[in-house]
């Protein structure tokens, strides 16, 4: 009994000692150990896929302990670093993720990189199952000459820049020219266009990083061209994003009437979502012709269809005019040049291979898998027992959070099914991850960062001011 | 309209956040029928005449009985009754996701007082299993004459796998 009191006191003392890190890790360990959970599952990547999978596993497997390992000191992945700052409602999912993280059977290890700090083999040795959800941190390239020039940047990097991803603060996009050409027409493309065209005053109330607000304040950008290879019926943006664009104050959306030849006749054949999106484009086009003659009120958003990137020139970009054949864009001999002081490439993300032991399809940029079960090799259909993938790392970068949520639930269900079917061993004792000689941020460390960011933001009328360097994050977390 | 909706929703969210916190505290515990049965308890209903009962029918046919007050949204009902629907209401009623997608019987759909606005339809367009009588639960406000309402919950997990 005396020993027990002593150890409790020691634990409390540890909690209040300056060494937050060690004591926080111990607290996490003690918490998890007291739950008696025996099946150990490690999730690599603390984005939406990782958290939704964790939520499902903790609920369905009452005897499982889940550890989430995250490369950055902070959680939430693209919810923090991808979702546009002027879409704070989308970030409400963080409340649910936080509840999941507060489950005593979950431990969070931030600032731990797969492939550098820990290998996949080590994780597989220390856990019954490993689920990879580290997302897509690379972008597809145009494969054109001059693509490495500083005035051609990926939309992914631009998003990371205004959202404060550590390392992105050095981007310094050149916003001194009048025209920005965005190559690609997905929702990321629309997000960056909106960030460039939105009135600064409204962005000041968001968690856009201060350095990005400063750069946007002196921006000379007036026109954003949004260029796609295919036609209006294949547009990749969704209707909510377009409607938002159309409502942006002091921004005119200018369509090219010739892009819409024959489109209205096809409305009846379309499924409801595509039909409503097309109707909205046609409605906006109609309003534009009524507007003719009145001078433009300010900035311009210029969607351009049926143009495929061909060459990057000084302050302009050359596109091949395309024709649609069986829904695919086929380049013709004809070309068109669009002004482009800055080019934002937004033609998709791809994942990177974090550890050489992962069966990775470098061509397509994702982990080879069958419904979330990682394949041993591409030719056979045999799977690595106890190794799974979910989210964009497995599916490729498509869909909204709902898509990722459903996908993550489905893979988590597969894990539960495989455990029930004894597809891999869950009886042997597994030790779980033990950080050695590494500054690890636990959930309480993240809470300190979170509180700090909110407090600094509050003083400026922003929901938070993000810390943008890893060093500073670690300092605030107390590790 | 959007502004009105936004204000309406913000007010709801403030209220709901508290409920969410409470209900999510039980989220990871094994689901029990206790809460549901209790909230439907006859004695309780008699004491609170404003209570409206709702039945959620899962894709597998399972019927979940719940109830809410007049003025609650169907999302509120799910949250307050701890109805066990994974991922339901991810954006907490701010019209930025479609996770509270519900399918109504045609007659019920037609007697709903408010027709879906553009913003709701925009989000429904992203939902799996979209039907002509689909609505977002966060946009449906309970009234006394909806008592006994039966709504279907689409089976999104199966769809994601098929996709």
CB contact B17 to A (< 8 Å): yes
A230 is in an annotated binding site: yes
CA distance linking residue A438 with residue A477, whole number of Å: 14
* pLDDT for the residue numbered A15: 43
**Regarding the domain with residue range A31-137+350-434, which homologous superfamily does it belong to in the CATH classification?**
NAD(P)-binding Rossmann-like Domain (3.40.50.720)
User: Which chain B residue's Cα is nearest to A59?
Assistant: B28
A78 is in an annotated binding site: yes
Structure tokens at A365: 């940029």
* pLDDT for the residue numbered A250: 92
> Residues 49-88, chain B: which have Cβ within 8 Å of A?
86-87
CA distance linking residue B62 with residue B56, whole number of Å: 8
The region that residue A138 occupies, defined by phi over 0 for left and psi between -120 and 50 for alpha, beta otherwise, is beta
* pLDDT for the residue numbered A220: 97
The CATH class of B51-152 is alpha beta
Domain boundaries, chain A: 31-137+350-434, 141-347
* pLDDT for the residue numbered B49: 66
CA distance linking residue A87 with residue A90, whole number of Å: 6
CA distance linking residue A211 with residue A222, whole number of Å: 20
CA distance A398 to chain B (A): 12
Above 0.95 for ipTM, yes or no? Answer: no
A244 is in an annotated binding site: no
User: Which chain B residue's Cα is nearest to A409?
Assistant: B157
CB contact under 8 Å between B87 and A52, yes or no, is: yes
User: Which chain A residue's Cα is nearest to B27?
Assistant: A59
CA distance A253 to chain B (A): 19
Name chain B contacts of A416, Cβ cutoff 8 Å: none
CB contact under 8 Å between B121 and A55, yes or no, is: no
Write out chain B's pLDDT in tens, 163 residues. 444 444 555 555 444 544 444 444 444 444 444 434 444 444 454 456 689 999 999 988 999 999 999 999 999 999 999 999 989 999 999 999 999 999 999 999 999 989 999 999 999 999 988 999 999 999 999 999 999 999 999 986 433 333 3
CB contact under 8 Å between B157 and A103, yes or no, is: no
CA distance linking residue B24 with residue A91, whole number of Å: 17
Structure tokens at A157: 């990097």
CA distance A182 to chain B (A): 24
Name chain A contacts of B161, Cβ cutoff 8 Å: 371, 410
CA distance linking residue B89 with residue B101, whole number of Å: 9
A93 is in an annotated binding site: no
What CATH number belongs to A141-347? 3.50.50.60
CB contact under 8 Å between B30 and A277, yes or no, is: no
* pLDDT for the residue numbered A291: 80
CA distance linking residue A217 with residue A52, whole number of Å: 37
Residue pair B95/B127 in contact by the 8 Å Cβ criterion: no
Residue pair A45/A393 in contact by the 8 Å Cβ criterion: yes
* pLDDT for the residue numbered A402: 87
CB contact under 8 Å between A406 and B30, yes or no, is: no
Cα of A402 vs its chain's centroid, Å: 13
Test mutation, A32, A83, A93, A412, chain B, max B CBs within 10 A:
A93
For residue A143, count CB atoms less than 10 angstroms from its CB and return exposed for 0-12, middle for 13-18, buried for 19 or more.
exposed
A400 is in an annotated binding site: yes
CA distance linking residue B75 with residue B93, whole number of Å: 7
Write out chain A's pLDDT in tens, 479 residues. 444 444 444 444 444 444 566 778 888 888 888 888 889 999 999 999 999 999 999 999 999 999 999 999 999 999 999 999 999 999 999 999 999 999 999 999 999 999 999 999 999 999 999 999 999 999 999 999 999 999 999 999 999 999 999 999 999 999 999 999 999 999 999 999 999 999 999 999 999 999 999 999 999 999 999 999 999 999 999 999 999 999 999 999 999 999 999 999 999 999 999 999 999 999 999 999 888 777 666 899 999 999 999 999 999 999 999 999 999 999 999 999 999 999 999 998 999 999 999 999 998 899 999 999 999 987 778 999 999 999 999 999 888 888 899 999 999 999 999 999 999 999 999 999 998 778 999 999 999 999 999 999 999 999 999 999 999 999 999 99
CA distance A435 to chain B (A): 27
* pLDDT for the residue numbered B161: 33
CA distance A103 to chain B (A): 7
CA distance linking residue A369 with residue A376, whole number of Å: 9
CB contact under 8 Å between A95 and B90, yes or no, is: no
A371 is in an annotated binding site: no
């Amino acid at each position: 009994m005396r020993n027990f009191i002593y150890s409790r006191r020691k634990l409390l003392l540890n909690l209040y000692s300056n060494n937050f890190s060690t004591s926080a890790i111990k607290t996490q360990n003690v918490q998890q150990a007291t739950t008696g959970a025996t099946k150990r599952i490690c999730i690599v990547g603390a984005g939406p896929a990782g958290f939704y999978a964790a939520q499902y596993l903790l609920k369905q497997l009452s005897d499982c302990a889940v550890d989430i390992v995250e490369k950055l000191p902070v959680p939430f992945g693209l919810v923090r670093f991808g979702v546009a700052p002027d879409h704070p409602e989308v970030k409400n999912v963080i409340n649910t993720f936080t509840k999941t993280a507060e489950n005593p059977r979950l431990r969070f290890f931030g600032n731990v990189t797969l492939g550098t700090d820990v290998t996949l083999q080590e994780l597989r040795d220390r856990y019954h199952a490993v689920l990879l959800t580290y997302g897509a941190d690379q972008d597809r390239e145009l494969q054109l000459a001059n693509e490495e020039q500083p005035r051609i940047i990926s939309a992914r990097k631009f998003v990371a820049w205004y959202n404060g991803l550590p390392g992105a603060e050095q981007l310094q996009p050149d916003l001194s020219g009048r025209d920005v050409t965005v190559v690609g027409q997905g929702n990321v493309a629309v997000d960056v266009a909106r960030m460039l065209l939105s009135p600064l005053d409204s962005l000041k109330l968001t968690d856009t990083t201060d350095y990005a607000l400063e750069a946007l304040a002196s921006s000379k950008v007036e026109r954003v061209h949004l260029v796609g290879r295919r036609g209006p019926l294949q547009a990749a943006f969704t209707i909510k994003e377009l409607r938002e664009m159309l409502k942006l104050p002091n921004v005119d959306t200018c369509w090219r009437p010739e892009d819409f030849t024959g489109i209205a006749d096809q409305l009846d054949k379309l499924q409801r979502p595509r039909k409503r999106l097309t109707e909205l484009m046609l409605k906006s086009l109609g309003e534009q012709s009524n507007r003719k003659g009145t001078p433009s009120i300010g900035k311009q958003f210029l969607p351009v269809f049926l143009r495929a990137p061909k060459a990057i020139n000084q302050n302009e970009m050359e596109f091949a005019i395309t024709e649609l054949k069986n829904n695919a864009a086929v380049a013709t001999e004809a070309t068109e040049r669009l002004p482009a002081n800055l080019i934002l490439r937004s033609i998709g993300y791809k994942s990177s291979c974090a550890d050489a032991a992962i069966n990775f399809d470098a061509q397509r940029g994702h982990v080879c898998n069958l419904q979330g079960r990682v394949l041993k090799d591409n030719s056979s259909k045999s799977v690595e027992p106890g190794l799974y993938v979910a989210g964009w790392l497995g599916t490729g970068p498509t869909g909204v959070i709902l898509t990722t949520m459903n996908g993550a639930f489905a893979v988590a269900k597969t894990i539960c099914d495989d455990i029930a079917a004894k597809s891999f061993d869950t009886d042997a004792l597994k030790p779980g991850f033990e950080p050695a000689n590494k500054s690890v941020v636990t959930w309480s460390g993240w809470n300190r960062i979170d509180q700090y960011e909110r407090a600094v933001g509050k003083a400026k009328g922003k929901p938070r001011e993000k810390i943008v360097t890893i060093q500073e994050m670690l300092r605030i977390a107390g590790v | 309209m959007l502004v009105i909706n936004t204000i309406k929703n913000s007010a709801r969210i403030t209220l709901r956040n508290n409920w969410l916190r409470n209900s999510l505290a039980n989220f990871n515990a094994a689901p029990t029928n206790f809460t549901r049965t209790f909230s439907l308890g006859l004695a309780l209903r008699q004491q609170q005449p404003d209570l409206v009962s709702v039945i959620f029918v899962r894709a597998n046919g399972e019927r979940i009985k719940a109830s809410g007050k007049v003025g609650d949204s169907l999302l509120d009902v799910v949250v307050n009754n701890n109805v066990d629907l994974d991922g339901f209401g991810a954006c907490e009623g701010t019209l930025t996701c479609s996770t509270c997608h519900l399918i109504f019987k045609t007659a019920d759909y037609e007697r709903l007082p408010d027709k879906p606005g553009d913003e709701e339809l925009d989000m429904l367009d992203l939902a799996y299993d979209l039907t002509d009588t689909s609505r977002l639960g966060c946009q449906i406000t309970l009234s006394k004459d909806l008592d006994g309402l039966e709504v279907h919950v689409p089976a999104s997990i199966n769809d994601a796998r098929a996709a």
